[in-house]
Structure 1
């Protein structure tokens, strides 16, 4: 079922802007209604906790829409900015805004860094600064700390490429594109080759390869970098 629906879903995301806009509007409406639950003095702790969990799920969903190009870069930029601008009257955002920001960046950060690294660095710096000035709980502080570590040790040194592969007569025809949609390499490989072989081939064909390479499918799924399964079988399993 997923394989049959995937081409249709991809086509909708790319071509139907009205659908994308309606989907985002629905997410925003749901987000705002959940915020009312969180902010209401009559809401119990358990109800507030459930609402916060749903809020983070919504931003995570939007993040995955960005990875499959259903949401443009400027929307993610606007969402992140809006999350921090929403404050308590003293320039400090509520703790839920920081949680949502971290959740969104955990999904899109590695891809976002390639197209807007300077903004991402500044935004995470702002998160760290705000957290230091606020009385957030330990879990939220830990989220921000982990995000800062990831951004400085991984995102800035990764090249994110989308891998597309088609089975030929015993071989795989592989092509890789960057987040801007530009093809950076194309080659043939035996279907029995392992993923490390694919990574090595991609690196050999890129003029200035990064030390760390992140490969994703056009569905947004991350390809494991150490899987010893034959590439043909691995791609077939991930695309089913």
Structure 2
């Protein structure tokens, strides 16, 4: 529990930083927040909640059919600035990963219907900031979200720029956000063996092979490293469902079918 006087001091300093935000980038603001003496994520949480409420308010303005064009333009600018600020605050460990998940889920809610174009653009802005960090600790969520963005954009009537930005995001996720190789594994029991195929973060198949159903995870990793070019020392293998692959492949598949 944060002491009341400490909380009041944090809020006071946060207000000072925000009042002098004009002309500063989101990264600079996040660094100013991080420079507050001994500030922790727990102590910063009330400020983070206020920033998220501001995000929610901008979303409501943009979703309202009565909002005029000029106000929508202002709300879009505020929203973009807010998500990039929250992203940079995540990078300096003042905002929890669950907040980033929540923002992404609010921007692109569940369902197959195409979202409003500004939501995709805001998602792009946020992931350009935090994507490389999420690739380290939350690869399955990142893969699934970018895959959904690509799928929704393909079915939409979005403008050329939005399509290019989504494709750029997909390309960056493949070429730059790879401190480790992230492969999605599809395994299927066929008679007494397992048919395995692996796709990268861009959805392209990088290898396919068969293994005995008694194979262990180290066997699979060794096989993958033997089949892909320039293998990374660290591999993250995830199921299509997003679950991390357990050690016994055959047992895992039998459990799924039971």
Q: Identify the match of residue 117 of structure 2 among 74, 82, 95.
A: 95
> Distance in 2 between the 1:91 and 1:11 partners?
45
Change (3 A) 1:130 1:59: same
> Distance in 2 between the 1:138 and 1:10 partners?
45
Residue 128 in structure 1 maps to residue 150 in structure 2? yes
Unaligned runs of 5+ in 2: 1-27, 182-232, 235-258
Residue 75 in structure 1 maps to residue 99 in structure 2? yes
> Distance in 1 between the 2:117 and 2:162 partners?
7
- Find the structure with the greater CA-based Rg: 2
Secondary structure of 1:9 counterpart: coil
Change (3 A) 1:127 1:6: closer
Q: Which runs of 4+ in 1 moved over 3 A?
A: 5-8
- CA drift of 1:101 comes to 1.1
| Range 71-80 or range 121-130, more displaced | 71-80
> Distance in 2 between the 1:55 and 1:62 partners?
11
- CA drift of 1:151 comes to 0.5
| Kept after mapping to 2: 8 A contact 1:60/1:104 | yes
| Kept after mapping to 2: 8 A contact 1:117/1:156 | no
Return the TM-score normalized by structure 1: 0.57
| Kept after mapping to 2: 8 A contact 1:86/1:94 | no
Residue 138 in structure 1 maps to residue 169 in structure 2? no
Q: 5 Å matches for 1:61-210?
A: 61-85=85-109, 91-157=113-179
Q: Identify the match of residue 11 of structure 1 among 23, 38, 56.
A: 38
Higher RCO, 1 vs 2 (CA within 8 Å, ≥6 residues apart): 1
| Kept after mapping to 1: 8 A contact 2:34/2:92 | no
| Kept after mapping to 1: 8 A contact 2:34/2:94 | no
RMSD: 2.7
Secondary structure of 2:108 counterpart: helix
